[in-house]
Amino acid sequence: MDVYVTVNQLVHKAVSLGLIQPDDEIYARNQIMALLDLTDFPERQAIDHEQAVGQGKDIPDLLDELTLFAVQTGLIEDLLDEREILSSKMMNIFMPKPSEVNKTFYEKWAVKPENATNFFYELSKNSQYIQTKRVQKNIQYKTDTPYGEIDITINLSKPEKDPKEIAREREMKASSANYPKCLLCSENEGYAGRIGHPARSNHRIIKLELTGESWFFQYSPYVYYHEHCIVLSHEHRDMVINREAFQRLIEFVEKFPHYFIGSNADLPIVGGSILSHDHYQGGNYEFAMAKAQDEMIFTLESFPTIKAATIKWPMSVIRLRGKDKEALVAASDFILVKWKKYTDIDANIFAFTGKTRHNTITPIVRIREDAYEVDLVLRNNRTDELHPLGIFHPHGDVHHIKKENIGLIEVMGLAVLPPRLKTELIEVENYLLDLPNQVEDYHLPWAQEMKIRYHNQLTAESVTEIVQKEVGLKFLRALENAGVYKRTEEGQKAFQKFITSLGSTSFGA
């Protein structure tokens, strides 16, 4: 690698993507040189725009070369976080100031909301805030089920850290560093990063007002689906599902009618990975759950303008439709309040253990055919001796595939599965083909059962498709485990019993 050529290539690549203008080239080059402690730029390395861009290297590859140079010259240690910090600083050179990003965003939004989000999504990708190269490593496919095609992702995008870096993180956590307070705080915008806290020099966020409060809009750095966005509170406060949350979700889709938005539940086990900062997730993608058909159609006496139904989905969902957003907010809050206090011993649903609350809701909002559509997914986080990780949580027979929480993204029909499965499933395939293998013990009963069931279909050409299908069905089983009302005659009668308690007097199919 010739570092001067690579610097020029990075600058010209930024020009080709529209991150900077040609008149900015010398400035940008000098800024990168300063970060790399380069004091001279040999004239022989001056290459024209076409030659630089024509090298066939993308920005992630060029950044890798430059951070490798920094490691080899002793500028930084060979640690993931230090390389990330330097990469983020280099990309920040090509980024407009936050005020400029917001100005452009809202100028485009005034014309058409899609124009604004397209601009911001492309900026977030081109600036490498969204880790496009790493996201491409994910294994993604669809599985056909009785509920439609569900999405399967084996998450390989987040790089693993070596023991040295993990030890450094422990040292840093023992120090007094507490800024930003968490990964979602708005103070991450432009933050250089440190060991144990990701680099965010090239991070930009869009200001929003929701329910009269200051909120922000950004994209996830490791997007799981198209335009996977995060909407976060300016205030660092705990997640909560309440009337104001429903109101904010509806206000958001008013502003961005081409997006859906939803929230993780606000209790452990059934909530997401970050409950300490109030936030939502959305995007421009239609999940299998959004396509689910109505089942029990009913009316709510107190909300005659609202159309209500349960849907054909492995989890327990009440779908509300209407054009009156205040009525939808009120109806959603009414159901939440009822559910938070609802106990049905026969259905194994207990609202409280002592003073500990167990019932909550995962809400999702979208606009469809000029009306608002609100999905209320009933959740319960109680545990018992048989299911210490959660009664309405993936059960032991699926833990070899999915043991983690069923959060918002999974609720809608997208599995986020652990990276270990990439190699483990290859061993399962080898076992099915009678090849030498090292199948993990926890996969063995499943592999044995597949071998019997598919014994006439197992070939080198078919085995991957068979295993992928069965992984998808295991995830479907995890969703069924998480459903508070099971897809049985008895379970659906119990579901109808709760709906009746809401003041519903009319049911139909």
**269 part of a folded domain:** no
CA distance 379 to 335: 12
Q: What are residue 140's DSSP bridge partners?
A: 153
For 241, phi then psi, to 5°, come to: -105, 115
The H-assigned helical ranges of 17-112 are 25-35, 49-53, 59-72, 80-92, 98-111
**28 part of a folded domain:** yes
Please give the chain's pLDDT, 509 residues, in tens. Answer: 799 999 999 999 999 999 999 999 999 999 999 999 999 988 755 555 445 554 679 999 999 999 999 999 999 999 999 999 999 999 999 999 999 999 999 999 999 999 999 999 999 999 999 999 999 999 999 999 999 999 999 999 987 766 676 777 667 665 667 899 999 999 999 999 999 899 999 999 999 999 999 999 999 999 999 999 999 999 999 999 999 999 999 999 999 999 999 999 999 999 988 999 999 999 999 999 999 999 999 999 999 999 999 999 999 999 999 999 999 999 999 999 999 999 999 999 999 999 999 999 999 999 999 999 999 999 999 999 999 999 999 999 999 999 999 999 999 999 999 999 999 999 999 999 999 999 999 999 999 999 999 999 999 999 999 999 999 999 999 999 999 999 999 999 999 999 999 998 666 66
**91 part of a folded domain:** no
**278 part of a folded domain:** no
**118 part of a folded domain:** no
> Which two three-digit tokens encode residue 335?
């159901």
**244 part of a folded domain:** no
Domain count, the chain: 1
CA distance 429 to 421: 12
CA distance 344 to 362: 20
**427 part of a folded domain:** no
How many other C-beta atoms can be found within 10 angstroms of the C-beta atom of residue 333?
Answer: 17
Looking at 312-459, which runs of residues are DSSP E strands? 317-322, 352-353, 356-357, 359-368, 371-380, 414-417
Instruction: Give the residue from 79, 63, 59 showing the smallest Cα distance to 13.
Output: 59
Residue type at position 316: S
Domain that holds residue 67: 3-75
pLDDT of the residue at 121: 98
Sheet architecture: strand order including 414-417 = 139-145, 148-154, 414-417
pLDDT of the residue at 42: 85
Q: How many residues does the chain have?
A: 509
**414 part of a folded domain:** no
> At which residue do the structure tokens 């027979």 appear?
397
pLDDT of the residue at 391: 98
Q: Over the range 257-286, which residues count as b (16 or more CB within 10 Å of their CB) and which as e?
A: eebbbbbbbbbebbbbebbebbbbbbbbbe
pTM for this model (two decimals): 0.94
pLDDT of the residue at 56: 72
